[in-house]
Amino acid sequence: MNTTVKQTSVTFNRTQQKQILKRFLQITLGRLARVRLDLSQEQQLFLDILPVLLHSNHRQFPCFVSESTPAGVCRYQPSGAEIQKLQRLLPDYRPSETNGNKPRPQILGIYFSGDCGTIIRSAEQNIRIWVCYGQNLGANDVAQLERKCRLIEQWARSLKIRAEFHVVDQAFLSADRQPDFLELDHLYRSGILIAGRMPLWWLIPPEQESNYRQFASILFHKRFISNDEVIDFGGIPEIPADQFIRVSLGQLNQALTCPYSAVIGLVLSEIYLSHYPDTDILSARFKQAVYDDELDLDRLDPHVMVFRTCEQYLIETQQTERLSLLRRCFYLKVNIPLSKYDKHSSWQRKVMETMTTDWGWDKEYLRELDQYTQQDIKTRVDDFQALGQEVIHAYRSMRNFASKTTQNEQLQRDIYDLGFLVNSRFENRAGKIDCVRLLNGEHKQPLMCFGHTRQNHKSLWSLYTESVSYRDLPNTQPLRRAESLIELLTYCHLNHLIDIETPLELIGSNLPIDENTLQTLSQQTLAFIEHVQSQPATSLEHPRHTQVFVLPQAGPDITSGRHALSGRKPVYLQEQIARIDVLCLNRVGEYILQVFDGSERLPQALCCLLANGPQDSLKVSTTSDDGAVEQSLASLLQQVGACFFHDEKTAGARFIAAHPGGFAVIRQRHQGFSYSLLQGHDELVQTLEACQDHYSPIVCEQTPPIPIAVREIASTLQPDTVQIYFQRLNAQQSRISISDPEGAIYSYHYASTDSLTLFNQCRRFVEQCLVLSDDQQRPALCFYQIDQVDAQSNLTITEVAAPYTGLSENQGITIRCSNPWQRQAQLQCHSAGQSFQGKDALKALSHTLSKTDNPIGFISNIVLLETRHTDRFTIGHYLALKARWERQLQQLRQPVSASA
């Protein structure tokens, strides 16, 4: 390595050094002249006096901080012309005022970069300014210098210049003290020396870049240069993979809002990543061109260099579609309409004319691009899809690269989070409604037509930007198709294709709605979008916004209360609803529509809404003039939301709602929310008796009646408590309900109305089971009586005192069993001094009870003789066995009684 340096140092003489330096200065002056061309006369004042502002501290300066603020630019002295221009801004300024306070040269150099003076032109000039200070400055000095630069930025804004200062030290370290080699690469290939020292990098030949330090030491040793002539930002070594990933993340974030501007940067990142670690960065190409005496400013324009590199890559890899998209993006980014005549032809225009001629673009194609903001929505949708594929491709390439090259956890989290945003913006998914907004422009259509057909017994809607006859529907290509009209209306409003004044047409056979209903739905959709867009921007942690659209059942006459098909009054809410459309703005900004129109539409919609999480806003709207359905559904949604999200007492709850034919039980699982449909009373009883892993309260829908006093019992359920409820059903029968500490409810029916006896027997059974069970703590024991208060079966529930337990040992039935959960469990039954065992023990016991005066059949004790080592028996298991065996006894006694 040292031999190579010595040989090169001999051939690199002072004459060559002067030639190289002259070439860099020639490029600098040429670029500076182009910057001045892009600035107005007033804006040029900023360019002319900026070195003076940083060179001195004067109280009249718009950027004055203090007299001790670091000042003085190395190798710079304000000229008479610059002083005169400064006096245009400050008429009272006199150079002599600074003679007594001559600033020390604490600023090593001032450099420009940015779009100003490049092929990219904008109304507000964008200039990045690098201010490099010496390493002897303290933290307070640097803070004052940064404050001064911020004040210059504010003054520049008054001139319509967007100046962005970067205050760095000689090692090119910013405030976070992390060297950014890609930022340094950008400065080397696009920077313009305004005042101060020239970069030492200029004088290091391209072939010696890997020996940067050794070659630089030779230049100093041979006195080719001196320390006060150059600033040493350093060479660009092998760039860490994390820096490439960070740049790619920045480009992808830009692509979310400005995909046209970001595509070129995405392709460049792809080139860098695909060649890593042997990456040929652009600053190296720039330096090689200077050393080869290729000083064409057009080709060395920073943006042109990036574009040409990407273009060459796509040509070599034969990606013609991506190449076409890249050229369109570059043309639109330059934003010079070549189809329009301009008598003041700029150098940027001439470059673009040469390029488009080489690409074979004709005047008609140029005219289409120049009128892009007025192009029809179909063209814009096609471009949106092409851009989306480009962004998704770039994201996947970056993600794959990162998986192989970085262990940085923060970067990995950023990549993961960005994936949500990229997919939400560009990925096509069922139910997702795209927001196609690429460039500014007027997209509102003079008319929008909605066509309706039926396919596989389902409605299919089509969107047209012009009036279409029913006969022409099959042969006309729509802008978009969907099974939901709400989806098409949302798409139109999101993309500003219609507003409240746009005429909307309906065409088709067997239309489910009329045009007045269509207008109503359009207004409701627009109101929802305007509401959520007026809210603060959502992040990954923010709640969601949801609009529920309800289409009333076609057939029921809600006002008369009769169902058109069956002739009966609709009892259940689902019977009054034909379809539910749930439109949600989720946590990553996607508009998602889900449609529910099947036989289980209401519980499905409820679980969908619960899966979306707590809502920041939730609104229900319907096209019906009668607000009963809307109010009922809104009330149900409020009850369900309160149950699972807003009441800590109901965490892990089971929500019982009425459903045609029975009930729907909704609960939260690990993977979301699910529901079970229960047909009638018996299935509800079985569901409520299921043992729970943890305390699970029960919440009942408020409006419809729930049988077997579940609502009343649910209102009193408490954790870590066994609760016993007595309810007299008629003159001969009663029901006992017992809840275990986890909220399971077990029901028992007895041919007795003696509450004291039943309470006593239940208490004794529970206390004996608690002694035998594996419960870790002893639960409390409470007693309640349920009474019917009127003819409408309204019930009241009252807590009563604990009964006296003075029962003899011989009362009730004792069952002994080993491994009771086996299908053919062997039982030993004991009652009134008699014993029965074997597989027919219950049958024999039932036969004996039918001949006695004890028709209750109350199991007062269960003894488990043997269980598996892994079995854990709680009080709930004992109550479940009691309910199971007592029902079997009752079923066995019925045929016996009948035969008697």
Percent of the chain scoring above 90 in pLDDT: 45
Picking from 92-101, 199-208, 820-829, which range would have the lowest pLDDT averaged per residue?
92-101
Flag whether pLDDT at 179 surpasses 80: no
Judging by DSSP bridges, how do beta strands 192-196 and 107-113 pair with one another?
antiparallel
Picking from 17-21, 394-398, 454-458, 690-694, which range would have the lowest pLDDT averaged per residue?
454-458
Flag whether pLDDT at 229 surpasses 70: yes
Are 395 and 252 in contact by the 8 Å Cβ rule? The answer is: yes
Over the range 163-177, which residues count as b (16 or more CB within 10 Å of their CB) and which as e?
Answer: bebbbbbbebeeeee
- DSSP string for 665-713: EEEEETTEEEEEEEEHHHHHHHHHTS--SS---EEE-SSS--STTHHHH
Picking from 197-201, 793-797, 891-895, which range would have the lowest pLDDT averaged per residue?
891-895
Picking from 1-15, 795-809, 851-865, which range would have the lowest pLDDT averaged per residue?
1-15
Q: How confident is the model at residue 669 (pLDDT cuts 50, 70, 90)?
A: confident
Picking from 301-310, 465-474, 643-652, 701-710, which range would have the lowest pLDDT averaged per residue?
701-710
Structure-block tokens of residue 244: 């490439």
- DSSP string for 93-147: --GGGGGGGPPP--EEEEEEESSTTSS---SSEEEEEEEEE-TT--HHHHHHHHH
DSSP three-state, residue 780: strand
- The contacts of residue 370 (CB under 8 Å, 6+ apart) are 337, 338, 339, 340
Structure-block tokens of residue 201: 């990098």
Say if pTM beats, i.e. exceeds, 0.75: no
| Residue 667 vs residues 387, 677, 699, 709: alpha-carbon distances, Å | 42, 12, 10, 20
The one-letter code for the residue type at 890 is Q
Flag whether pLDDT at 36 surpasses 70: yes
- DSSP string for 594-636: EEE-STTHHHHHHHHHHHT-SEEEEEEEES-S--HHHHHHHHH
- DSSP string for 271-313: HHHHHTTS---HHHHHHHHHHTT---TTTT-HHHHHHHHHHHH
Flag whether pLDDT at 221 surpasses 70: yes
Q: What is the rounded CA–CA span in Å between residue 470 and residue 190?
A: 60
Q: pLDDT of 342-370, one tens digit each?
A: 888 899 999 999 999 999 999 999 998 98
Averaged pLDDT for residues 293-321? 96
* Most confident of the ranges 119-128, 164-173, 625-634, 720-729: 720-729
Percent of the chain scoring above 70 in pLDDT: 89
Structure-block tokens of residue 605: 């919609």
| Residue 555 vs residues 563, 565, 575, 702: alpha-carbon distances, Å | 7, 7, 10, 26
E strand or H helix at 879, and its extent?
helix 875-899
Res 805: pLDDT: 63
Flag whether pLDDT at 704 surpasses 70: no
Q: Which residue has the higher pLDDT, 539 or 74?
A: 74
Are 540 and 587 in contact by the 8 Å Cβ rule? The answer is: yes
Q: How confident is the model at residue 585 (pLDDT cuts 50, 70, 90)?
A: confident
| Every domain of the chain and the residues it spans | 22-95+102-237, 253-426, 545-554+571-705, 708-893
Res 130: pLDDT: 93
Strands (E), 28-102: none
Q: What is the rounded CA–CA span in Å between residue 23 and residue 33?
A: 15
Strand ranges across the sheet with 448-455:
480-482, 458-464, 448-455, 504-508
The one-letter code for the residue type at 175 is A
Burial of 320: CB neighbours in 10 Å, binned 0-12, 13-18, 19+: exposed
- The contacts of residue 15 (CB under 8 Å, 6+ apart) are none
Q: pLDDT of 462-492, one tens digit each?
A: 999 899 998 888 889 998 999 999 999 999 9
Q: How confident is the model at residue 856 (pLDDT cuts 50, 70, 90)?
A: low
Compute the residue count for the chain: 900
Res 560: pLDDT: 33
E strand or H helix at 49, and its extent?
helix 41-55
Q: How confident is the model at residue 11 (pLDDT cuts 50, 70, 90)?
A: low
Please, which contacts does 866-869 make with residues 24 or more away whose CB atoms are closer than 8 Å?
866/818, 866/819, 867/818, 867/819, 867/820, 868/819
Q: What is the rounded CA–CA span in Å between residue 43 and residue 643?
A: 63
Res 381: pLDDT: 81
Q: Which residue has the higher pLDDT, 586 or 412?
A: 412
Picking from 6-10, 405-409, 716-720, which range would have the lowest pLDDT averaged per residue?
6-10
Q: Which residue has the higher pLDDT, 784 or 444?
A: 784
Averaged pLDDT for residues 178-206? 91
Res 822: pLDDT: 75
Q: Which residue has the higher pLDDT, 894 or 864?
A: 864
Res 91: pLDDT: 84
Picking from 150-154, 511-515, 656-660, 862-866, which range would have the lowest pLDDT averaged per residue?
862-866
Q: pLDDT of 780-813, one tens digit each?
A: 999 999 998 776 678 899 999 988 766 555 568 8
Q: What is the rounded CA–CA span in Å between residue 339 and residue 793?
A: 83
Res 754: pLDDT: 86
What region, left, alpha or beta, does residue 676 occupy, with left being phi > 0 and alpha being psi -120 to 50 degrees? beta
Are 611 and 544 in contact by the 8 Å Cβ rule? The answer is: no
Q: pLDDT of 677-695, one tens digit each?
A: 999 888 999 999 998 888 9
Q: Which residue has the higher pLDDT, 543 or 409?
A: 409
Res 371: pLDDT: 84
| Residue 196 vs residues 68, 133, 225, 691: alpha-carbon distances, Å | 20, 11, 15, 81
Q: In whole numbers, what is the pLDDT of the chain averaged over residues?
A: 85
Q: pLDDT of 725-784, one tens digit each?
A: 999 988 888 999 999 999 999 999 888 888 888 998 899 899 888 888 877 788 999 999
Flag whether pLDDT at 897 surpasses 60: no
Res 543: pLDDT: 52
Res 894: pLDDT: 65
Res 454: pLDDT: 86
Burial of 64: CB neighbours in 10 Å, binned 0-12, 13-18, 19+: middle
Structure-block tokens of residue 713: 């019992």
Determine phi and psi for 197, rounding to 5 degrees.
Answer: -80, 150
Res 620: pLDDT: 87
- DSSP string for 3-14: HHHHHHHHHS-H
